[in-house]
Amino acid sequence: MSDKKIDLSLIVPCFNEENNVKLFFGEVAKVFAGKDFTYEFVFVDDGSKDETYKNLKELYDNEKNYNIQVISFSRNFGKEAAIYAGLNNAKGEKACVIDADLQQRPEVVLSMLDIMKNDPDVDCVTAYQESRSEGKAMSSVKSMFYKFINKVSDVEFKDGASDFRLFNRNVIDSVLKMTEYHRFSKGLFSWVGFNTVYIPYTAEERATGESKWSVMKLMKYALEGIISFSTFPLKLSTFVGAFSSIASVIYLLIVLIHSLCTGVSITGTTGIVFLLLFIGGIQLLCLGILGEYLSKIYLEAKDRPVYLVKNHLGK
């Protein structure tokens, strides 16, 4: 490791990427060779169960001409925590978050750097996927999510924007000021503001291995984003609650008037069962929404660390 000033830190979250980390290193070294900036790798091994750490340590031991940091977590804390750890330890004037699986090409980082170089007013360059490689159904579900979250949140979310971003020091330090436990990075990056330029990119096929995102994980992630950046669901529960109360009063009035006009005494077990289920369901829904927020507050109040480090090479 040299003590020279570092222009760019590449933050690379790795979870079970044993066959990709060396490939990734090689590609970046090749693409960045002879360029007029200094850079470092900040690999964050997010509690991988395979040989990822061993391979990263080999890189660290053998590639002494490169600036390499390897941070390994005590367990899997998730990509958001890995990004946070990387930014926390980045020595560069700028930092770029990039996946280890080569779906995001290092050439795009060069374009991002050019944009920042040509316009000093740009603080952040974010790559977004113009066309998604996944199926039509998944693609439209994701678009719907973006439409919804943009409606209910004050923060702007660009459809398809990835974590593949280049930031300057100002943005890095601002993101680091947010120490919250539930880190929905896309939201945090938008929340801090600054001048962001969006550029399209095409995600390549994964070099090796498979995506860590299951439908369940994606749904949890989407809910996380909505709860973290909007209080709309809380307002919704108030609205739904008020609506159902008013509706039941109206129903009662109709039944009363009907019984007065026709002289038929009120029975109607079906109606009662329906009402019981309807109001009970709404109450449970509202309680559920409250519970979601409460559980978040509970975890934030504990103030637990976002991640725990087991080893840190090149600190």
Binding positions for ligand UDP, rule: CB under 6 A = 13-15, 17, 46, 76, 78-79, 82, 99-101, 103, 211-213
Q: How far is the CB of 269 from ligand UDP (least distance, A)?
A: 52
Q: How far is the CB of 19 from ligand UDP (least distance, A)?
A: 11
Residue 243 partner contact from ligand UDP, Mg ion, none using kind-dependent CB cut-offs of 5 to 8 Å: none
3-state secondary structure 100-136: CCCCCCHHHHHHHHHHHHHCCCCCEEEEEECCCCCCH
140 in Cβ contact with 220 (< 8 Å): no
Among 45, 101, 123, 163, binds Mg ion (CB under 5 A): 101
- Of 293, 150, 172, the C-alpha closest to 233 is 293
Closer residue to ligand UDP, CB minimum distance, 36 or 205? 205
Residues in a beta bridge with 80: none
The total of other beta-carbon atoms located within 10 Å of residue 121's CB is: 8
Q: How far is the CB of 80 from ligand UDP (least distance, A)?
A: 8
Q: Which stretch binds Mg ion (CB under 5 A): 97-105, 116-124, 213-221, 246-254?
A: 97-105
User: Is residue 103 involved in binding Mg ion (CB under 5 A)?
Assistant: yes
Q: Which stretch binds Mg ion (CB under 5 A): 10-18, 64-72, 100-108, 141-149?
A: 100-108
Residue 46 partner contact from Mg ion, ligand UDP, none using kind-dependent CB cut-offs of 5 to 8 Å: ligand UDP
User: Is residue 45 involved in binding Mg ion (CB under 5 A)?
Assistant: no
Residue 80 partner contact from ligand UDP, Mg ion, none using kind-dependent CB cut-offs of 5 to 8 Å: none
- Of 79, 84, 59, the C-alpha closest to 70 is 59
Q: Which stretch binds Mg ion (CB under 5 A): 95-103, 124-132, 135-143, 256-264?
A: 95-103
Closer residue to ligand UDP, CB minimum distance, 142 or 296? 142
User: Is residue 48 involved in binding Mg ion (CB under 5 A)?
Assistant: no
Tokens at residue 25, please? Answer: 């290193």
Torsion angle, alpha carbons of 294, 222, 82, 92, to 10? -110
Q: How far is the CB of 100 from Mg ion (least distance, A)?
A: 8
159 burial class (0-12, 13-18, 19+ CB within 10 angstroms)?
middle
The radius of gyration of the chain from alpha carbons, rounded to an integer in Å, stands at 25
190 in Cβ contact with 170 (< 8 Å): no
Given the rule CB under 5 A, which residues bind Mg ion?
A: 99, 101, 103
